[in-house]
């Protein structure tokens, strides 16, 4: 769970870090990825693995292009004003939800996993697919990190993040960078969704939970800090689980939530962030 | 300046007079809607004091609304309190909750503040569910009709409900108007515009922000408690994240940092959903598109846009 | 026109249904001629079109349309044609109350029905009482029979959860096992299950050895499953919402193909979901409560085929138009039956218009036996006018070869409990 959370959160962290934009519709991009995965796997014949791989390639591209379109048509015109983008992304959220409800329907629908392997531990069983998801998420995250740290694209992004005006002066097309980052962030959410949909099923309201969680993860981890986001994703996934051993599950959720809030209060820069938020 | 003051008071008293008259003019359905909208507008006004004037963007105001709703509701349902005492308790609960959250959350700023308030509100929501044996969780409880009598007035009667909502709204509006025009109100705005400079001028930003947040919490608590008493239902969905976003939407639609903006936003949003669901089954789409259009063409909200285009005196 | 009126909106399905209805009206003017007023009777329908109830809402709308067509073909109510106004409540209690106001004050409906989710019902009921509007809910919640609603709120179309759960206990204890672990969502609906089942299973000679309450915000359940005691004989699960499939899959992963306890669940978990979905193979051999059997049973009653054809459902419980579109079959009969109860109530009360709403409530309160028939395709029921709650038969089905096969029908006494309220002593 943590692995998928990390993927979604990194997408949000990118958008957040580079563009300074709160994307309330991020969870809907996640949902869109999952729903698209259901369509792709249903339409493509053959063994489930083929459809799944197709979904893994096509869905993020589709979602990324929707995001890029939204960025160009709406967010750019708002000049990324923080308040206005919140309203705009709430509007986007409604539109995407309605689109999913009208075209896909209100039911939760499962997607077949590309393989079913059950790892049997002495005391209980665990799904082999889940382990594969963790591995896949790790690979993708490494890829994102390489992209940011080692390539020219990453350099341009970081430059834009630090100082938009200077970057523009150096001939960087800031608009293109923003559209690209927004699309990349949404694409990552979609990848996470495709990976999780054999475990969780696609549903038109599923964007809500990952949105909240990834918000938390991003902040706890420190804005724009990929490493922090990863650690935070693990921490939150685990802390919830550990506390629930000792208390009733709902009480555990309450305590975990308060814990996260208090971390923020007393360490506002996040766990790994280098500067104050 | 006096000319401005006259215009300001004339406008707001005019709005109140129109609302008072509306009860006698409007068909029952719309009068009922307006009663509900006025209560929600009080909630949004509270949000506006924190967000629009002081620059504190909270995503956890449902906690304060919920504190008012449950502070009132639990006392009536479990302890058998009368409506008046419970209403006061609900308002106090909203303020106390805001004080507690503020003491912690105001150590942070900006996005962190958003998330911390969001987290506290989520914890509050889960707490309501945790105590399901008392609160009936998401299903909620009905406030007995016999208990919904305030100063001898039966709040379940349409006309009395309307005037109760109006009284609350009018009080909230006038207090807010006086507040934002007072020296303290200017300090709040100064805090929004430039915290450092106000600090150098000798103000304590923490105390000012805390005071603003507590006032905001009192408004939210009052709206919550009133909602429960007027409509007879107390449920966990009112403490959920949607109800934290709702006043934000109202305020941004109507115009952040304007006294009448929250009310205008609440009216617009209500009728947007109501009418859209009559026209098409895909009404969420209509609402979404309307929001996008509004934000593209009036990013400061409707009253914000008006203020930019000439009505500079609009408070 | 701010409400959706059947036959006046561009949805093709609605237009066809409406045309059929008005066609019948035109073709046979004599049918409606006996009425003093030929104006249609207007019924409001609180529809969960969006929000978490949307999967149910879609089928509730279809069922209501089908029942409406039948009622109008047979001459309407008291010789007057019937209209249903559908209004989305977003599965939200605040909007639910607003929709009630719209039906009462703007559309001047004669009665309102259709709501399923408990929080919508509880949020709307106070307004129904204030507006003096008969409010017939289809929610299976215990809130009506518990006495917390009001004189105007009734549940004549479906048995409440307390009775359902209680009726399961004797069979579980005698057939599946005595030591039960309950897994339920940590909110009112789950607590109702716990509060009704724990004493019922004790009375039947069994016991609940562990209760696992899962926070409703949870999307993965793996970490709770190790809390199931190893001497558990029966797992009793009732989960709602889209995370249910995850729950079942993870339960499957947890136990694998090895030994597992008996498993008993409420079909609420899997309404609108195909039992043969990938990942659900694990359910083979497990048992479910069903309000109304989704798969056509060999011993089905004589009206079953007519009912299925009318609501557009095939022998496997899926839509005739799209086999992937599985219905909420175990619950949606309540909408159908409620409309026929409205018809019976209005006819018994000699209902003329909104001034007779009180007479309508009194007429329904006076009802007792509701025999099996096309008006009650789920089975015979008994209505308790004092508690405003109906009691009927429950079914237990086993998953065999990817289908639900009925293995037990409860007897009416299994679900009875002492009255907790007397609405007839309350004022209107």
Whole-number pLDDT of residue C280: 78
Residues 4-23 of A with CB under 8 A from B: 16, 22
The tens digit of pLDDT for each residue in C184-216 reads 888 788 888 898 899 999 998 989 998 988 877
Ramachandran angles phi, psi of C140, nearest 5°? 60, 5
Residue with the larger pLDDT of the pair C407 and A239: C407
Return the closest-CA partner of residue B51 out of B227, B287, B262, B196.
Answer: B262
Cβ within 8 Å of residue C193, ≥6 positions away: C161, C165, C182, C184, C238, C266
**Cβ distance of C93 and B233 shorter than 8 Å:** yes
Q: What separation in angstroms does the CA of A27 have from each of A185, A194, A210, B125, C25?
A: 11, 13, 6, 20, 49
- With CA atoms as reference, the chain B residue closest to A251 would be B130
Whole-number pLDDT of residue C140: 86
Q: Which residues of A touch B126 (CB under 8 A)?
A: 250, 253-254, 257
C151 and C192 share one domain:
no
C194 and C292 share one domain:
yes
Reply yes or no on whether the pLDDT at C1 is more than 50: no
Of A192-196, A238-242, B175-179, where does the model show the most confidence? Answer: B175-179
C151 and C95 share one domain:
yes
C368 and C400 share one domain:
no
- With CA atoms as reference, the chain C residue closest to B154 would be C130
Whole-number pLDDT of residue A227: 66
- Which pTM was predicted? 0.82
What average pLDDT does the segment A232-251 reach?
63
Read off the pLDDT band of C25 (50, 70, 90): very low
C263 and C214 share one domain:
yes
C19 and C135 share one domain:
yes
What average pLDDT does the segment B250-279 reach?
85
Read off the pLDDT band of C63 (50, 70, 90): very high
C266 and C353 share one domain:
no
Read off the pLDDT band of C155 (50, 70, 90): very high
Residue with the larger pLDDT of the pair A266 and A7: A266
Residues of A with CB under 8 A from a CB of C: 1, 48, 98, 101, 105-113, 118, 120, 123-127, 198-201, 203-206, 209, 241, 244, 248-250, 252-253
What average pLDDT does the segment C130-141 reach?
91
The tens digit of pLDDT for each residue in C324-334 reads 888 899 999 99
The tens digit of pLDDT for each residue in B35-74 reads 999 999 999 999 999 988 888 888 889 999 999 999 999 9
Summary mean pLDDT of chain C: 84
Reply yes or no on whether the pLDDT at C395 is more than 90: yes
Q: Report the share of chain A in percent with pLDDT over 70.
A: 68
Whole-number pLDDT of residue A219: 66
Read off the pLDDT band of A247 (50, 70, 90): low
C294 and C169 share one domain:
yes
Count of pairs with CB atoms under 8 A, one residue in A, one in B: 122
C14 and C138 share one domain:
yes
Give ipTM to 2 decimals. Answer: 0.84
C400 and C380 share one domain:
no
The tens digit of pLDDT for each residue in A57-115 reads 888 888 888 888 888 888 778 777 776 777 788 888 888 888 888 887 777 777 776 66
Output the CA angle C2-C5-C11, nearest 5 degrees.
Answer: 105
Whole-number pLDDT of residue C257: 67
Nearest to A107 among C219, C273, C279 (CB): C273
Return the closest-CA partner of residue B39 out of B229, B309, B273.
Answer: B229
Distance from A218 to chain C by nearest Cα, in Å?
20
Asked if residue C424 belongs to a domain, the reply is no
Q: 10 Å Cβ neighbour count for B200? A: 9
Asked if residue C306 belongs to a domain, the reply is no
Q: Which of A16, A264, A270 to mutate to test the interface with B (most CBs of B within 10 A)?
A: A264
Summary mean pLDDT of chain B: 86
Total of domains in chain C: 2
Q: Report the share of chain C in percent with pLDDT over 90.
A: 44
Whole-number pLDDT of residue B155: 80
Cβ within 8 Å of residue C409, ≥6 positions away: C393, C394, C395, C396
Residue with the larger pLDDT of the pair A220 and C74: C74
Summary mean pLDDT of chain A: 74
Give the start-to-end residue ranges of the domains of chain A. 2-202
C21 and C87 share one domain:
yes
Q: Which two tokens stand for residue B280?
A: 């098409």
Whole-number pLDDT of residue A220: 65
**How do beta strands C179-185 and C135-136 pair?**
unpaired
Reply yes or no on whether the pLDDT at C296 is more than 80: yes
Residue with the larger pLDDT of the pair B291 and C71: C71
User: For position C80, which CATH number holds?
Assistant: 3.40.50.2300
Whole-number pLDDT of residue A95: 86
Whole-number pLDDT of residue A134: 76
Contact A261, B103 (CB under 8 A): no
Q: Which two tokens stand for residue B114?
A: 């958003």
Q: Which of C194, C211, C229, C242 to mutate to test the interface with A (most CBs of A within 10 A)?
A: C242
Distance from B262 to chain A by nearest Cα, in Å?
14
Whole-number pLDDT of residue C157: 92
Reply yes or no on whether the pLDDT at B225 is more than 60: yes
**Distance between CA atoms of residues A72 and B64, nearest Å:** 37
Asked if residue C131 belongs to a domain, the reply is yes
**Cβ distance of B126 and C122 shorter than 8 Å:** no
Whole-number pLDDT of residue B150: 81
* H helices present in chain B, as ranges: 2-25, 28-48, 61-79, 83-105, 110-130, 132-135, 158-181, 183-193, 195-200, 205-231, 242-254, 261-279, 283-297, 302-308
Nearest to A264 among B116, B288, B290 (CB): B116
> Which residue range is the domain that position C262 belongs to?
162-299+393-415
Whole-number pLDDT of residue A242: 57
**Cβ distance of C187 and B283 shorter than 8 Å:** no
Q: Which two tokens stand for residue B26?
A: 């409007």
Cβ within 8 Å of residue B72, ≥6 positions away: B86, B87, B89, B90, B93, B224, B225, B228, B229, B234
CA A75 to centroid of chain Cα atoms: 19
Whole-number pLDDT of residue A269: 61
- With CA atoms as reference, the chain C residue closest to B40 would be C94
SS3 at position A91: helix
**Distance between CA atoms of residues A260 and A243, nearest Å:** 13
**Cβ distance of C88 and B126 shorter than 8 Å:** no
Reply yes or no on whether the pLDDT at C27 is more than 60: no
Q: Which of A199, A206, A207, A209 to mutate to test the interface with C (most CBs of C within 10 A)?
A: A199
C52 and C192 share one domain:
no
């Amino acid at each position: 769970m943590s692995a998928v959370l990390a993927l979604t959160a990194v997408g949000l962290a990118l958008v957040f870090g580079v563009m300074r934009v709160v994307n309330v519709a991020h969870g809907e991009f996640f949902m869109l990825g999952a729903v698209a995965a259901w369509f792709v796997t249903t339409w493509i014949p053959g063994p489930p693995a083929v459809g799944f791989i197709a979904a893994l390639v096509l869905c993020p591209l589709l979602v990324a292009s929707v995001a890029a379109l939204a960025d160009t048509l709406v967010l750019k015109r708002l000049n990324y004003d923080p308040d206005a983008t919140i309203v705009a992304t709430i509007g986007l959220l409604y539109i995407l939800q309605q689109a999913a409800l009208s075209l896909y329907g209100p039911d939760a629908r499962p997607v077949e996993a590309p393989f079913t392997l059950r790892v049997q531990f002495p005391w209980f069983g665990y799904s082999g697919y889940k382990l594969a998801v963790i591995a896949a998420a790790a690979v993708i995250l490494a890829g994102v990190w390489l992209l940011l740290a080692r390539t020219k694209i990453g350099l341009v992004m970081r430059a834009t993040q630090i100082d938009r005006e200077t970057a523009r002066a150096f001939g960087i097309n800031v608009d293109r960078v923003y559209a690209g980052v927004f699309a990349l962030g949404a694409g990552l959410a979609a990848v996470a969704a495709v990976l999780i949909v054999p475990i969780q099923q696609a549903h038109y309201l599923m964007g809500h939970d990952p949105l909240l969680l990834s918000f938390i993860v991003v902040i706890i981890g420190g804005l724009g800090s990929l490493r922090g986001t990863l650690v935070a994703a693990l921490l939150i996934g685990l802390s919830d689980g550990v506390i629930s051993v000792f208390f009733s599950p709902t009480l555990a959720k309450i305590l975990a939530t308060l814990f996260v809030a208090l971390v923020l209060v007393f360490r506002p820069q996040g766990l790994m962030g280098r500067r104050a938020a | 300046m006096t000319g401005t003051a006259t215009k300001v008071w004339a406008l707001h008293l005019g709005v109140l007079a129109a609302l008072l008259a509306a009860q006698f003019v409007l068909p029952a359905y719309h009068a009922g809607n307006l009663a509900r909208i006025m209560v929600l507008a009080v909630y949004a006004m509270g949000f506006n004091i924190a967000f629009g004037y002081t620059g504190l963007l909270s995503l956890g105001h449902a906690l304060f609304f919920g504190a008012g709703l449950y502070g009132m509701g639990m006392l009536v349902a479990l302890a058998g309190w009368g409506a008046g005492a419970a209403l006061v308790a609900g308002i106090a609960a909203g303020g106390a909750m805001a004080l507690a959250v503020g003491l912690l959350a105001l150590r942070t700023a900006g996005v962190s503040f958003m998330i911390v308030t969001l987290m506290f509100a989520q914890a509050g929501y889960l707490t309501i569910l945790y105590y399901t044996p008392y609160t009936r969780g998401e299903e909620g409880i009905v406030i007995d009709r016999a208990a919904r009598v305030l100063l001898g007035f039966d709040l379940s009667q349409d006309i009395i409900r309307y005037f109760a909502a109006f009284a609350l709204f009018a009080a909230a509006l006038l207090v807010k108007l006086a507040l934002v025009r007072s020296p303290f109100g200017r300090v709040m705005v100064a805090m929004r515009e430039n915290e450092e400079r106000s600090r150098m001028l000798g103000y304590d930003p923490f105390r000012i922000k805390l005071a603003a947040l507590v006032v905001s919490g009192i408004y939210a608590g009052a709206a919550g408690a009133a909602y429960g008493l007027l409509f007879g239902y107390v449920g966990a969905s009112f403490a959920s994240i949607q109800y934290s976003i709702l006043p934000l939407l109202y305020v941004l639609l109507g115009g952040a940092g304007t006294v009448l903006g929250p009310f205008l936003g609440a009216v617009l949003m209500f009728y947007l959903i109501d009418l859209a669901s009559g026209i098409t089954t895909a009404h969420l789409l209509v609402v979404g598109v309307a929001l996008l259009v509004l934000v593209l063409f009036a990013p400061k909200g409707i009253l914000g846009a008006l203020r930019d285009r000439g009505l500079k005196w609009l408070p | 026109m701010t409400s959706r009126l059947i036959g006046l909106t561009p949805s093709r399905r609605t237009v066809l249904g409406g045309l059929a209805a008005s066609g019948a009206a035109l073709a046979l003017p004599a049918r409606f001629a006996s009425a003093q007023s030929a104006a249609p009777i207007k019924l409001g329908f609180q529809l969960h079109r969006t929000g978490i109830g949307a999967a149910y809402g879609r089928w509730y709308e279809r069922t209501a349309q089908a029942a409406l067509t039948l009622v109008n073909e047979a001459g309407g109510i008291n010789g007057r044609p019937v209209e249903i106004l559908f209004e989305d409540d977003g599965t939200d209690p605040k909007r639910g109350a607003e929709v009630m106001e719209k039906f009462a004050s703007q559309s001047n409906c004669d009665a309102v029905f259709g709501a399923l989710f408990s929080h919508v019902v509880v949020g709307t009921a106070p307004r129904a009482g204030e507006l003096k509007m008969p409010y017939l809910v289809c929610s299976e919640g215990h809130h009506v029979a518990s006495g917390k609603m009001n004189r105007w709120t009734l549940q004549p179309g479906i048995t409440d959860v307390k009775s359902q759960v209680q009726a399961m206990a004797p069979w579980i204890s005698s057939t599946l096992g005595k030591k039960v672990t309950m897994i339920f969502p940590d909110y009112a609906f789950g607590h109702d299950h716990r509060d009704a089942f724990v004493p019922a299973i004790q009375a039947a000679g069994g016991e609940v050895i562990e209760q696992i309450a899962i926070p409703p915000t949870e999307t993965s359940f793996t970490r709770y499953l190790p809390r199931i005691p190893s001497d558990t004989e029966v797992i009793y699960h009732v989960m709602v919402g889209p995370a249910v499939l995850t729950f079942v899959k993870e339960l499957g992963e947890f136990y694998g193909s090895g030994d597992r306890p008996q498993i008993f669940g409420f079909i609420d978990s899997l309404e609108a979901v195909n039992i043969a979905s990938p990942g659900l193979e694990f359910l083979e051999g497990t048992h479910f409560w069903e309000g109304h059997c989704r798969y056509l049973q060999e011993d089905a009653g004589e009206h079953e085929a007519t009912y299925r054809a009318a609501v557009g459902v095939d022998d496997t419980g899926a839509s005739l138009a799209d086999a992937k579109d599985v219905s909420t079959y175990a619950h949606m009969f309540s909408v159908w039956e409620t409309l026929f109860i409205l018809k019976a109530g209005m006819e018994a009360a000699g209902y003329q218009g909104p001034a007779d709403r009180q007479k309508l409530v009194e007429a329904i309160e006076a009802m007792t036996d509701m025999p099996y028939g096309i008006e009650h395709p789920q089975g015979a029921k008994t209505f308790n006018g004092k508690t405003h709650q109906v009691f009927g038969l429950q079914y237990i089905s086993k998953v065999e070869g990817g289908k639900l096969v009925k293995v037990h029908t409860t007897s009416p006494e299994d679900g009875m409990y002492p009255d907790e309220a007397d609405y007839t002593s309350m004022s209107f």
